[in-house]
Amino acid sequence: MFEIKKGKTQTVPVRMMNVGGDGQASINYTDVTASLLLSNNTIVNLAISASAWYEASGSIFGGMGVYTLQLHSGSVSTTGSFVYAVSAGPNVPAVKYLGALKCVEVETADTFNIVVGISGTVDRLRKVSEGRWKMDAATKKMTLYTLDDPTVPFIVFGLTGSDGAPSTDSPFERRPVG
């Protein structure tokens, strides 16, 4: 179920398919009608403009009938779960799409992406704390190698003394290098 915030303009996914289940490409916004079925069984017809209808055509989705529909803030003014329907008109073979959305008062966190981000940070910290450090007196750099791959540098730092000059004898500061 797709989640949108009450009173905010949102974009929802639409996949237009013909009766055989094949994606229907090149549907113009003038051939599209859309409506919302509210939780009280009221149907709200949505106005669709050129800027509200977009076909994903320049990527791997090209020709597959993948679109987005922009729902304007006035369309969804109450919270709850809704069904939205999109259908193509007389200039296109019969195609329809049903989608579900949940209108919420406050946006909830994207838990999956938060967990992935935290997991990546924890993994990086683990690599830094467990890895092998090596200072090169000739280049005045310190290189970190991870336990996962002890032959490939993970992070390289330039080392400087308290005077700002490159140093491995009495390093005062380290800065990541390229």
Domain harbouring 68, CATH code: 2.60.40
Confidence at 46, pLDDT banded by 50, 70, 90: confident
The domain boundary residue, chosen from 54, 71, 104 = 104
* 161 has a pLDDT exceeding 80: yes
Measuring CA to CA, which residue among 71, 75, 38, 73 is closest to residue 54?
71
For β-strands 66-71 and 10-15, DSSP reports them as antiparallel
Domain-embedded: residue 27: yes
Range of the domain at 167: 124-176
Domain-embedded: residue 118: no
The long-range contacts involving 157-165, CB below 8 angstroms and separated by at least 24 positions, are: 159/135
Q: Are 94 and 22 in contact (CB under 8 A)?
A: no
Which of 37-41, 92-96, 130-134 has the least mean pLDDT?
92-96
Which of 1-5, 124-128, 152-156 has the least mean pLDDT?
1-5
The pLDDT value recorded for residue 12 is: 77
Distance CA 81, CA 83 (A): 7
Average pLDDT, the chain: 78
The pLDDT value recorded for residue 138 is: 95
User: Do 131 and 96 belong to one domain?
Assistant: no
User: Do 22 and 59 belong to one domain?
Assistant: yes
Domain-embedded: residue 113: no
Domain-embedded: residue 109: no
* 76 has a pLDDT exceeding 70: no
Confidence at 72, pLDDT banded by 50, 70, 90: low
Domain-embedded: residue 117: no
User: Do 138 and 100 belong to one domain?
Assistant: no
User: Do 128 and 91 belong to one domain?
Assistant: no
Domain-embedded: residue 168: yes
The pLDDT value recorded for residue 77 is: 58
The pLDDT value recorded for residue 135 is: 94
DSSP for residue 97: E
Total number of domains constituting the chain: 2
* 170 has a pLDDT exceeding 60: yes
